[in-house]
Amino acid sequence: MADTVTVTINERKITAPAGSTILDAAHDANIYIPNLCSHEELAPYGACRLCMVEIGSREKTKLVASCIYEVAEGLEVRTETPRVNNVRRFVIELLLARNPDAPVLRKIADELGVKDTRFKKQNKGCILCGQCVRTCREVVGVSAIGFKGRGVTRQVTTPFGESPVDCIACGSCSYICPVKVIPLKEENGVREIWKTKFELKKCKKCGRYFAPVKQLEYFSKITKLPKEHFDVCLDCR
């Protein structure tokens, strides 16, 4: 099996690693495709549908999500056709209905020429991209949050809506959220996230609070390092 394949994106011949996605190939070639649910550290997911592109030739074309569709030898891709842009405008209107003021959504809407949404504004904040849930599961490895419900009732939450037992307060979910709707705050040696307060560790050398105690205990467990190894911050270590 060949290590690379040659594809055509917007009439440009591009060599891409076999098994990579159209979105990855376009990104490596500096071809912009809007997206919200894709991240290099996460498995392809295909939730937001903003990255739709048109593939095929002549009358035999179809729309696919570029973040989950793998490149193939001879594949022809177009990222800016009227059909593609119509779908993207429709999708961004749906997203704006959930969160009309998010800067990242407003930026994409402006790029697509969308001034407002025709749909009823719900102001739910979360756009259900799933990045927080997947980061917690795939990167952090604790699965402290997840999805609840289906369709219009779907939401990201903790198990039974209570304080998440497995959460280590690392803040990765808050950091990765593209619309910044997962609040995290720190005050007086305490970090609060998911309506739960976590004690912060104070460095034994400089006296600065630098990480949640529960997160450091988790690091000690997975690295097999003694807990004392995490008594000082990275700057003082």
69-to-45, 55, 77, 174, 188 alpha-carbon distances in Å:
10, 10, 11, 28, 47
Per-residue pLDDT of the chain (237 residues; tens, 9 = 90+): 579 999 999 999 999 999 999 999 999 999 999 999 999 999 999 999 999 999 997 778 999 999 999 999 999 999 999 999 999 999 999 999 999 999 999 999 999 999 999 999 988 999 999 999 999 999 999 999 999 999 888 999 999 999 999 999 999 999 999 999 999 999 999 999 999 999 999 999 999 999 999 999 999 999 999 999 999 999 998
Alpha carbons 148 and 154: distance in angstroms, whole number? 5
State CA 6 to chain mean position distance: 28
Query: Considering the entire predicted model, what is its pTM?
Result: 0.90
Domain assignment present for 236:
no
173 within a domain of the structure (yes/no): yes
Q: Considering 49, 82, 112, which residue would you say is the last residue of a domain?
A: 112
Residue 122 within any structural domain of the chain: no
Relative orientation angle of helices 82-98 and 103-112, to the nearest 10 degrees: 150
Domain of 87, CATH number, reads 3.10.20.740
Within a domain: residue 106?
yes
Q: What is the DSSP string of 97-132?
A: HH-TT-HHHHHHHHHHT--S-SSPP---------HH
Domain boundary, last residue among 112, 140, 161: 112
Residue 18 and residue 101 share a domain:
yes
Q: Which two tokens stand for residue 64?
A: 């696919």
Residues 31 and 64 in one domain: yes
Instruction: Answer yes or no: do 106 and 155 share one domain.
Output: no
Query: Domain of 146?
Result: 131-230
Of 81, 112, 143, which residue constitutes the final position of a domain? 112
> Considering Cα of 54, then 56, then 61, then 62, what sign does the dihedral take?
negative
Q: Are strands 76-78 and 4-9 parallel, antiparallel or unpaired?
A: parallel
Residue 125 is assigned to a structural domain of this protein: no
